[in-house]
Amino acid sequence: MKYRKKPVEIEAWHFTKENLKKGIPRWVDHLPVNKNGYEELNHDISLWSQYGREKIGGEIKTLEGKMTISENDYIIKGVHGELYPCKPDIFEETYEPSGRSVDGKLLAEKLAMPIKHELDKRSRDAQRRKGFL
C-alpha cells in the first residue's frame, strides 16, 4: 500500500552561517512558556561555531536519539513541538513555503487597533462631557 504525507504546517529554520549571524529563532533554543509563566532554555539542542564561524554544527536530542546538525541542514519543529534536523535535499523535496508568515509586531498592532479606537472614542466622549471639545 502507498501513503502520502498529510499536508501539515511546520516551522523550519535553515542552519547556515548567514542565518546564524542573524540570530537563532526563539522557538529553536527556548522551550514554550511553562505553566508558571517562565521560559526556559532548551537543553536538548546545542549549536556551535568554530574559527570565527568558519565552521558550524550542532547536536539535538530527538525521539530517536542524539542527531548531528550540519551546516545547511534545516531544523524543523514538528506538529507536537519536537525538534529534528533534516538534510536540505530531503527538506526541499518534502516541504514548500506555506505562504503564511507571522510578523509578531504587525499582529499585535492589528489586535490592539480596535481597543485603541474604543479608548480614543471614550476619551473624546469624556472630554466633550467636560466641555474640552
Cα 33 to Cα 24, 26, 27, 38, 128, distances in angstroms: 17, 11, 10, 5, 44
pLDDT at 16: 95
pLDDT at 106: 59
Grid coordinates in use for 8?
501539515
Q: Could you tell me if 71 and 60 are in contact, meaning their C-beta atoms sit under 8 angstroms apart?
A: no
pLDDT at 128: 80
Kindly list the averaged pLDDT for each block of 10 residues, start to end, along the chain of length 133: 86 94 90 75 86 88 93 93 94 86 60 70 79 67
pLDDT at 109: 65
Per domain, the residue ranges of the chain are 11-99, 102-133
CA distance 111 to 113: 6
pLDDT at 22: 92
* CA proximity to 78, closest of 96, 62, 102: 62
pLDDT at 129: 80
pLDDT at 101: 61
pLDDT at 100: 64
